[in-house]
Amino acid sequence: MHEHGETGSTPQEAPQRKGFMLVLSSPSGAGKTSLARKLLEVESDIAPSISVTTRSRRPTETDGVDYWFVTPEQFTAMRDRGELLEWANVFGNLYGTPKMPVEQTLEAGSDVLFDIDWQGGAQLRKAAPHDVVCVFILPPSAEALRHRLRSRATESPEVIEKRLAGAPHEIDAWQDYQYVIVNDDFDQSLANLRAILRAERLRRERQTRLPEFVAQLQQEL
Ligand SMILES: Nc1nc2c(ncn2[C@@H]2O[C@H](COP(=O)(O)OP(=O)(O)O)[C@@H](O)[C@H]2O)c(=O)[nH]1
Ligand SMILES: Nc1ncnc2c1ncn2[C@@H]1O[C@H](COP(=O)(O)OP(=O)(O)O)[C@@H](O)[C@H]1O
């Protein structure tokens, strides 16, 4: 028999949450985009941050869904108007996070998911140390990373090799991340990511109605 849901006194409103920023970073090809997409499919109350980028669109990508594809001039104008929460040059292209949608989602009590590089992760941690949860995704082996990046075949061989060459440097950031997932089995990695999300949502300081809930509970006892 379940013992919850007892209604001996006035039903109380469930404590509400404060949204946070969940950052996924990894060397290119480790699987963060696939994990991010799937997480958004299976979880609610979390929205993706859609970045602006000057990189060209892949055939598999949709403008306004995967990225906002912009010209370098549009990008610099946004940046100079202070509309970006963070930005970085990654492999010769500019990437940045539009500020307003993130602020609106957080204010509404939902979480925001970021697929950004270590430079972006560092900027967000600096701007809001208590509201950022960083997860670093590693490939299970060098061979797996090479295979994933090459078989995805969304870039030219030169670009793929450039990304592989940059991987050791990108991986250097791993120690600045609170969580690390070695993305070997995809379903296991997804389950781990969901566990992180769930635990972080339960953090005391994110449950904004707890103080009054506890006070009332104590008063009624
Ligand atoms: N700092 C920062 N990095 C970003 C942003 N958007 C994407 N990135 C990162 O830029 C890198 C290249 O992204 P992309 O060209 O989509 O390649 P992929 O992640 O390998 O599929 C990845 O590490 C992304 O996480 C952003 O808004 N800011
Ligand atoms: N756990 C996994 N096992 C095998 N292949 C994977 C796994 N995770 C992702 N992939 C594949 O590896 C390739 C790179 O993944 P992607 O999510 O695009 O990486 P990233 O966004 O980190 O560059 C994709 O083809 C994806 O389907």
Q: Tell me: the pLDDT tens digits for 37-68?
A: 999 999 999 999 999 999 999 999 999 999 99
- Residue 4: inside a domain: no
Residue-number span of the structural domain to which 209 is assigned: 21-49+110-220
Q: Among 56, 69, 115, which residue has the most ligand 1 atoms within 8 Å of its CB, making it the best to mutate? A: 115
Read off the pLDDT band of 31 (50, 70, 90): very high
- Residue 102: inside a domain: no
Q: Among 33, 143, 148, which residue has the most ligand 2 atoms within 8 Å of its CB, making it the best to mutate? A: 148
Q: Which tens digit of pLDDT belongs to each residue from 135-180? A: 999 999 999 999 999 888 778 889 889 989 999 999 999 999 999 9
In this structure, what are the phi and psi dihedrals at residue 71, rounded to the nearest 5 degrees?
-80, 160
Sign of the torsion formed by the C-alpha atoms of 31, 159, 53 and 120:
positive
The domain that holds 177 is classified in CATH as: 3.40.50.300
Report the complex ipTM.
Answer: 0.96
- Residue 64: inside a domain: no
The minimum-distance atom of ligand 1 relative to the CA of 24 is: 25
- Residue 103: inside a domain: no
**Which whole-number Å values give the CA distances from 193 to 32, 88, 215, in the listed order?**
11, 25, 33
User: Residue 157 C-alpha to ligand 1 middle, in angstroms?
Assistant: 18
- Residue 193: inside a domain: yes
Cα–Cα distance, 28 to 30 (Å, whole number): 6
Q: Which ligand is nearest to the CA of 34?
A: 2
Read off the pLDDT band of 4 (50, 70, 90): low
Q: Domains in the chain: how many in total?
A: 1
Instruction: Report pTM.
Output: 0.92
